């Protein structure tokens, strides 16, 4: 598998991305496919980088942060700097995500209170509020 190469079609299918996405990541210097004429050919290293890019995006890292972290792989310190910087960035992101979750939980609780109030008002007018499950798409 070390010498295996993948086409853009295979990469898209394997990772659930579009060719446009892969070309965009190439333009942002996140992946570096080999070229055979107009064809882009992806190595194991490209696959590993794409996996990390998609994970970083899911965690909310910026593409610039991801690019910088990926570029630390080759500095020759057995990835210690890369892991340390990723860890710090991960801690910051986790803190932000927890704060977002707390804000969302607060907003959900407030909306639930408002809906209960609305039910009471409607009941006082002799109307029944539709169950929430009917309102959901």
Which residues pair with residue 41 across a beta bridge?
7, 34
Pair 47, 53: CB distance under 8 Å: no
Whole-model pTM: value is: 0.79
Instruction: Report CA-CA distances (Å) from 95 to 27, 57, 101.
Output: 31, 16, 10
- Give the C-alpha separation, 105 to 93, whole Å: 18
- In this predicted model, what pLDDT tens digit does every residue of 25-72 receive, in sequence order? 999 999 999 999 999 999 999 999 999 999 999 999 999 999 999 999
- In this predicted model, what pLDDT tens digit does every residue of 74-121 receive, in sequence order? 999 999 999 999 999 999 999 999 999 999 999 999 999 999 999 999
What percent of the chain is helix, strand and coil (3-state, nearest 5)? 70, 5, 25
């Amino acid at each position: 598998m070390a010498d295996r190469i993948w086409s853009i079609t295979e990469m898209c299918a394997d990772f659930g991305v579009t060719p446009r996405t892969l070309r965009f990541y190439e333009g942002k210097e996140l992946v570096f496919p080999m070229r055979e004429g107009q064809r882009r050919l992806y190595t194991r290293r490209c696959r590993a980088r794409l996996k990390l890019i998609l994970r970083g995006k899911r965690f909310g890292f910026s593409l610039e942060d991801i690019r910088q972290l990926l570029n630390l792989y080759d500095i020759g310190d057995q990835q210690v700097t890369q892991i340390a910087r990723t860890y710090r960035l991960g801690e910051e992101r986790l803190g932000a995500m927890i704060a977002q979750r707390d804000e969302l939980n607060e907003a959900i609780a407030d909306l639930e209170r408002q809906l209960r109030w609305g039910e009471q008002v409607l009941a006082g007018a002799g109307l029944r509020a539709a169950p929430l499950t009917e309102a959901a798409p």
